[in-house]
Amino acid sequence: MNQSQPTTRVAARFQKLRENGAKGLVVYLTAGDPSLDATGELLLALDRAGVDVIELGVPFSDPLADGPVIQRASERALRAGTTLRKILERFPGWRQSVQTPIILFSYFNPILQLGLEKFAATAAQAGVDGALVVDLTVEEAESYVRAMRERNLDTIFLASPTSTDARLEHAAQLSTGFLYLISRTGVTGERTEISSSGRLLTERARRLTSLPLAMGFGISTAAQVREVQSHADAAVVGSAVVHAIEERFSHEGPAAIEKFVRELKSGTEDQSA
C-alpha cells in the first residue's frame, strides 16, 4: 500500500540514509517565531546544518500536546499574525532555496478551517512535502488521507507506548514517508533521560511495518540523538531547538541555531542501519 505512491522527497531522503547506512535527524521549529521573515532564515540554517527532514509547526491557540517551550513559541507566532494561510503563501519562496524535505506539523483545526481539499492543493503547489496532524486520530483520518494522497503529499501519523498493536498497525498503514513514534507519554519538552519505553515501542513497530521510524519527545542533546538512533531510523528534536531560537536568535542570529543543530547532527555519525 505505502509502496504504491510515487516517491516523495521524504521517502527519498530516508532511502538515501538507509543506502548509506546512516541515521536521520528531524528538527521542528514553529513558523512565525519570532516572525515569518525569521522563519525563512531559520529554514536555510537548518538546511545548511544537514537536517534530514524539517517539521514546520503551524502555531495554534490551544496546543495541548506541546510543552511550555513550544507553547510560548506558538504564542509569539500568533501575536506576530502567523496563520496557516500566510505560511502557505510564503512557502514557495522558502522552497526555492531549501532542499531539505519540509512537512507541516499542525493541529487539525487550522486545516479544517482552510478546507481539506484546498489545504492539500495549496500545500502541494507551494512545495510542501507532507503533514503531521498531531490531534487527528486514525479513525477520523480517511478524508484527510485521501485528499493528501491525491496530491502525493506524505501523511505522517503518531504512535505512542500506550498504542495497542492494532492501533500501531493502523497508524503505520495510514503513514507514508515515516512513522513518528513518541518516546513516552505526556507533552513535548527537553528531558535529561530518554524513556526506556521508546525502545520497546520501536521493537513493536518493526514487527508491523517496514516504514522508517522516527522517534521524538524529550530529545535535546547529541548523546540522546545517538541513543535513540541505536534503535530508530531517525531522532526528532523540537523543544531544544525552539528553546535555542527563543534564547539566542534575537542577538546571535541564524548562525547560532545552525551551530546548535550541527552539534545535534553529530549524534547521527557512526551509525549503521
Let me know if residue 34 belongs to a domain: yes
- Give yes or no for residue 184 having a pLDDT over 70: no
Peptide bond into 59 cis (omega under 30): no
DSSP state of 134: T
Q: What is the pLDDT of residues 30-87, one digit of tens each?
A: 999 999 999 999 999 999 999 999 999 999 988 777 788 999 999 999 999 999 999 9
- Answer for the pair 69, 57: CB distance below 8 angstroms, yes or no: no
Let me know if residue 57 belongs to a domain: yes
Q: What is the pLDDT of residues 85-96, one digit of tens each?
A: 999 999 999 999
Q: CATH number of the domain that 40 lies in?
A: 3.20.20.70
Give the Å distances, CA to CA, from 247 to 29, 57, 60, 126, 179: 14, 18, 21, 31, 31
Domain interval for residue 131: 22-268
Give the Å distances, CA to CA, from 210 to 3, 14, 187, 194: 10, 12, 27, 24
Cβ–Cβ contacts within 10 Å for residue 189, how many?
Answer: 18
Let me know if residue 229 belongs to a domain: yes
Let me know if residue 4 belongs to a domain: no
Let me know if residue 17 belongs to a domain: no
Q: Which of 25-34, 148-157, 188-197, 258-267 has the lowest mean pLDDT?
A: 188-197
The set of catalytic residues is 55, 66
Let me know if residue 149 belongs to a domain: yes
Let me know if residue 189 belongs to a domain: yes
Q: How many structural domains is the chain composed of? A: 1
Let me know if residue 10 belongs to a domain: no
